[in-house]
């Protein structure tokens, strides 16, 4: 009995030692993968992440939200729907043989733009002839509210050539001013690699349509 008791005590100690060793091994094994996960989490991308979009922008102002549009009554909605259906039926209608067909609406074509006036200069000169001044005056009489470009050219692609082109453009602009064109309607352009000069109407910028 005494021998058996000592053996049980020794076995209990051995089991406790094995359990402690297993617990330490288990904890150590669990901690190592977690540490490695946190060490490599995100990689290089996570080192300097950019701030979230709109982080430093002010909060939206609810006072800037447009008011709710007025509600359309049911009667008005039915009228609009009926008008659209009638127009759709009219457009898709195929006339029967012998049925009178209304002529299509007349399309008014816009007037062709006035071509530019091309002007020649003597080599190295920026002086217009009296006949060229008359041509410019007749051209300026058709301007309306349009802008006019006074362009001067020179063949030499040098600084001297650019100065000559500018002098020719200025001479054309002066002739336009003498013909009654306000200075605010004249745009001067000087280019090299060509010869002569020109007076040209500029098209107005396209009208920006407001979004619905």
pLDDT in tens, 118-143: 999 999 999 999 999 999 999 998 88
Give CA–CA dist 147/203, Å, rounded.
8
pLDDT in tens, 66-119: 677 778 788 888 888 888 888 888 777 777 777 777 766 665 655 667 888 999
Cα 19 from chain centroid (whole Å): 72
- Percent of the chain beyond pLDDT 90? 28
Q: What are phi and psi of 9, to 5 degrees?
A: -65, -40
Supply the pLDDT for residue 149: 92
> What residue ranges do the domains of the chain occupy?
1-32, 117-202
Supply the pLDDT for residue 85: 86
Phi-psi region of 93 (alpha: psi -120 to 50; beta: other; left: phi over 0): beta
Q: Which of the 8 DSSP states describes residue 184?
A: G
Fold for the domain defined by 117-202:
60s Ribosomal Protein L30; Chain: A; (3.30.1330)
User: In this model, does residue 170 exceed pLDDT 90?
Assistant: yes
What pTM does this model have?
0.46
């Amino acid at each position: 009995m005494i021998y058996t008791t000592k053996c049980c005590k020794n076995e209990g100690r051995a089991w406790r030692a094995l359990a402690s060793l297993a617990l330490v091994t288990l904890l150590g094994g669990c901690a190592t993968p977690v540490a490695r996960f946190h060490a490599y989490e995100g990689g290089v991308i996570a080192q300097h992440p950019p701030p979230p979009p709109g982080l430093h922008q002010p909060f939206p102002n609810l006072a800037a939200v447009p008011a709710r549009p007025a509600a359309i009554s049911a009667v008005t909605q039915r009228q609009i729907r009926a008008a659209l259906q009638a127009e759709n039926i009219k457009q898709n209608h195929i006339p029967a043989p012998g049925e009178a067909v209304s002529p299509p609406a007349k399309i008014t074509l816009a007037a062709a733009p006035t071509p530019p006036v091309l002007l020649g200069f003597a080599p190295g000169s920026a002086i217009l002839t009296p006949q060229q001044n008359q041509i410019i005056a007749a051209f300026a009489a058709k301007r309306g509210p349009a802008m006019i470009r006074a362009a001067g050219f020179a063949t030499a692609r040098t600084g001297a050539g650019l100065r000559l082109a500018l002098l020719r453009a200025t001479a054309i602009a002066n002739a336009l001013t003498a013909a009654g064109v306000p200075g605010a309607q004249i745009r001067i352009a000087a280019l090299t690699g060509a010869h002569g000069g020109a007076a040209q109407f500029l098209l107005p910028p396209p009208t920006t349509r407001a979004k619905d």
